[in-house]
């Protein structure tokens, strides 16, 4: 087994375990705090999962660096050299708290900037979406076929709340042109929608941990992952990102540029 195959198997075990932890405690086994404002939540399970994941990653890949949302990773990661693990211990914390549904655990490994391993656990449906660079994308042990290359008028489009309520007239036109508009509240769940063809595209302001895994998996399936203006993405910064079929991406570009 290669080193990457070994890391892949270990990482699958780690994210499944973190998903199980969140599932078992989602009904009442946690406390909630706010971060920057009353809509920005963190729970003891976000912290617990991140500490567990990071501790496990340090065991299986000791010379790597870890970029994670809740502060237990390495500080000030400014370049992409070597192994960088990117961790979102619960994606969709608000859904975790309010719905007990529609949240995910996400993890990715970038090696010298190349998206190499990606994981999204759809916790409540108990599915792991995972992939290795050049080896395809799987839902559990079933390989995903790339979604049909539908255009904007034949597709559902997901956008986050800030963009949906915003007053950018071009984004409004994009949203109106789609067959329908959806808002799930979890970047991971929305990325799964695009990976499986349920959504033709997803547009959102994403931080590194919101983007890293979904980008790896989407690119592996031949989907487009770009800044909304068509420029390429820097996974270390916050980006206004489009994940879409190539036809949806062209249709959106035509409206915006
Ligand atoms: P989180 O639950 O891990 O914070 C909600 O629309 C989605 O956007 C979730 O995936 C959420 O991830 C993420 N999100 C929440 N607040 C955000 C912010 N201020 N900037 C970027 N993404 C955010
Ligand atoms: Ca958060
Ligand atoms: Ca997130
Ligand atoms: Ca999170």
Query: pLDDT 10s per residue in the chain (257 long)?
Result: 999 999 999 999 999 999 999 999 999 989 999 999 999 999 999 999 999 999 999 999 999 999 999 999 999 999 999 999 999 999 999 999 999 999 999 999 999 999 999 999 999 999 999 999 999 999 999 999 999 999 999 999 999 999 999 999 999 999 999 999 999 999 999 999 999 999 999 999 999 999 999 999 999 999 999 999 899 999 999 899 999 999 999 999 999 98
DSSP element (H, E) containing 42: strand 41-43
Q: Check if the beta carbon of residue 235 is closer than 8 Å to that of residue 80.
A: yes
Can you give the pLDDT at residue 229?
87
Q: How far is CA 40 from the centre of its chain?
A: 18
Q: Quote the ligand 2 centre to 118 CA distance (angstroms).
A: 19
* Ranges for all domains in the chain classified under CATH 3.40.190.80: 152-256
Is residue 69 marked as binding? yes
* Ranges for all domains in the chain classified under CATH 3.30.540.10: 3-143
| Nearest residue to 100 (alpha-carbon basis) of 180, 24, 36, 44 | 24
Can you give the pLDDT at residue 4?
98
152-256 has which fold? D-Maltodextrin-Binding Protein; domain 2 (3.40.190)
Question: Mutate which of 189, 210, 211, 214 to test ligand 1's pocket (most atoms within 8 Å of Cβ)?
Answer: 210
Pairwise CA distance, residues 140 & 219, whole Å: 18
Pairwise CA distance, residues 157 & 148, whole Å: 15
| pLDDT tens by residue, 40-60 | 999 999 999 999 999 999 999
Pairwise CA distance, residues 192 & 203, whole Å: 13
Between the alpha carbon of residue 8 and those of residues 224, 236, 253, the distances in Å are 24, 22, 35
Pairwise CA distance, residues 169 & 112, whole Å: 38
CATH annotation of 3-143: 3.30.540.10
Q: How far is CA 122 from the centre of its chain?
A: 11
Looking at the CA of 89, which ligand is closest? 4
Q: Token digits for 133?
A: 């660079």
Ligand 1 touching residue 50 (CB < 6 A): no
Can you give the pLDDT at residue 105?
99
β-strand pairing of 156-159 with 201-206: parallel
Closest-lying ligand 1 atom to the alpha carbon of residue 90:
3
ipTM of the complex as predicted: 0.95
- Atom 22 of ligand 1, nearest CA residue: 206
Q: Check if the beta carbon of residue 137 is closer than 8 Å to that of residue 129.
A: yes
Can you give the pLDDT at residue 161?
94
- Atom 11 of ligand 1, nearest CA residue: 92
Ligand 1 touching residue 205 (CB < 6 A): yes
| pLDDT tens by residue, 138-180 | 999 999 999 999 999 999 999 999 999 999 999 999 999 999 9
Q: Quote the ligand 4 centre to 120 CA distance (angstroms).
A: 12
- Atom 9 of ligand 1, nearest CA residue: 186
Closest-lying ligand 1 atom to the alpha carbon of residue 188:
10
Pairwise CA distance, residues 192 & 76, whole Å: 29
């Amino acid at each position: 087994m290669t080193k990457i195959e070994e890391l892949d198997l270990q990482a699958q075990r780690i994210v499944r375990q973190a998903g199980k932890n969140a599932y078992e405690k989602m009904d009442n086994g946690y406390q909630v705090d706010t971060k920057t404002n009353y809509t920005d939540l963190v729970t003891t399970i976000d912290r617990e999962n991140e500490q567990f994941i990071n501790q496990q990653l340090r065991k299986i890949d000791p010379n790597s660096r870890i970029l994670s949302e809740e502060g237990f990773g390495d500080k000030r990661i400014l370049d992409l050299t070597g192994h960088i693990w990117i961790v979102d211990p619960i994606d969709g914390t608000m859904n975790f708290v309010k719905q007990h549904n529609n949240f995910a655990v996400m993890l990715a490994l970038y090696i010298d900037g190349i998206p190499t391993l990606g994981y999204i656990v759809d916790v409540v449906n108990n599915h792991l979406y995972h992939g290795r660079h050049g080896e395809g994308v799987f839902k559990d042990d079933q390989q995903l076929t790339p979604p049909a290359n539908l255009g904007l008028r034949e597709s559902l489009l997901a956008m986050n709340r800030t963009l949906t309520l915003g007053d950018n007239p071009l984004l409004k036109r994009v949203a109106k042109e789609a067959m329908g508009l959806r808002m799930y509240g979890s970047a991971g769940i929305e990325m799964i929608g695009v990976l499986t063809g349920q959504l033709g595209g997803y547009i959102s302001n994403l931080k590194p941990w919101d983007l890293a895994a979904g980008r790896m998996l989407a690119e592996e399936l031949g989907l487009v992952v770009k800044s909304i203006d068509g420029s390429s993405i820097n996974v270390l910064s916050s980006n206004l990102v489009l994940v879409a079929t190539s036809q949806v991406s062209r249709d959106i570009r035509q409206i915006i540029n």
